[in-house]
Chains A and B, each alone.
Chain A
Amino acid sequence: MVAGVLLALSTIRDRKKTRAALITSGKVTLQVLPVLFFIFVLMGTIEAFVNKDTIAYLLGRGSGVRGILIAEVVGSVALIQPAAVFPFSGYLRTSGASYGAVAAFVLSAILIGISTLPLEIKLFGPRFTLFRNVLTFALILLLALLIGVIL
């Protein structure tokens, strides 16, 4: 709805730009939708094989720092589009994961990437890469703990 209104406004202001926007949207769709399909299958697979109690045990309220660390490591290794992070996180949440663990997964999936390490080293050098990733990992742990306390 809101997107439709914005789109209409954008069309009135500038037709060319709006067309460019729609082309970008199309590209993003092409980029993200297949990943989403893959994630949905993954979610279904987890649903079919893994007991919800297991997720709740690994990532639930009682799992504390260990649960946050598990989620953070999985998020760091996971190679997914940021847009696909939230549907999966929502699934984890409804399966019994704590807010802290979910936050750790969301942040590390977006900010830390084993798959982007080569690119980061190439662009910024190994020291920057090491420091940034270590700092970010520590920050995520802290923020996840805070979010767990707040929510």
Chain B
Amino acid sequence: MKSLLKTAAIYIALGGAIWGLIALVSPARGEIVGQAVGDTFKQTIEIIVAVFIFIGLFQVWVPPKTIAKFLGKESGWKGLILASTVPLGIGGSLFTILPLVQTLLEKGARIGVAGAFITAWAGKLPLLPLEIHFLGWKFALVRLGLLVSSAVIIGLSLEKMMERRGKR
């Protein structure tokens, strides 16, 4: 919690400093920055609040740990297909997802599953409202479809590469 506040303060201070510096050097440009910040904020605050609520609900109703337990046991194609769809619902950044995938491997999942899992996780379903809002539903759907269908390829290639090097 404390480190959370600290990071928050750093970002706000950093943003404020850049803005302040610009306004100091060139007030006209500082005004442009201020306007951009205000406009974007007004345009996005509603959707952002909604997404934050989504993320919270996802987290408790579909806890990542349960997903990991569930996936560790599955093998073969079923495991790969699950690994390229299930992670779509998980939030967080690489900092939180990598440790999760590591527990997956510890529970006996194959490398292909781990690779597919990380790739598919970038589908970011909880953020879908944001993506549609900013980039349109066409972009969101195409990106999602391509990513999900290529997750298995990444997983299997990664597995092959690891095995080949391991035998030498």
Contact = CB atoms under 8 A, between A and B. Distances in A.
B102 A123 contact: yes
Contact of A22 (B37, B56, B135, B161): B56
Contacts of B19: 41, 44-45
Indicate the size class of the contact surface on chain B.
35 or more
Interface residues on A, range: 35 or more
A123 B52 contact: no
B139 A99 contact: yes
Contacts of A103: 139, 143
A95 B150 CA distance: 29
Interface in A103-146: 103, 106-107, 110-111, 113, 116, 119-120, 123-124, 127-128, 131-132, 135-136, 139, 142-143, 146
Interface of B: 4-5, 7-12, 14-16, 18-19, 22, 26, 29-30, 32-37, 40-41, 44, 48-57, 59-61, 91-95, 98-99, 101-102, 105, 111, 114-115, 118-119, 122, 124, 127, 130-131, 133-135, 138-139, 142-143, 146-147, 150, 153-154, 157-158, 161-162, 165
3 closest A-B pairs by CB:
A90-B134, A25-B56, A44-B36
Interface of A: 1-4, 6-7, 10, 17-18, 20-38, 40-45, 47-49, 81-83, 86-87, 89-91, 93, 99, 102-103, 106-107, 110-111, 113, 116, 119-120, 123-124, 127-128, 131-132, 135-136, 139, 142-143, 146-147, 150-151
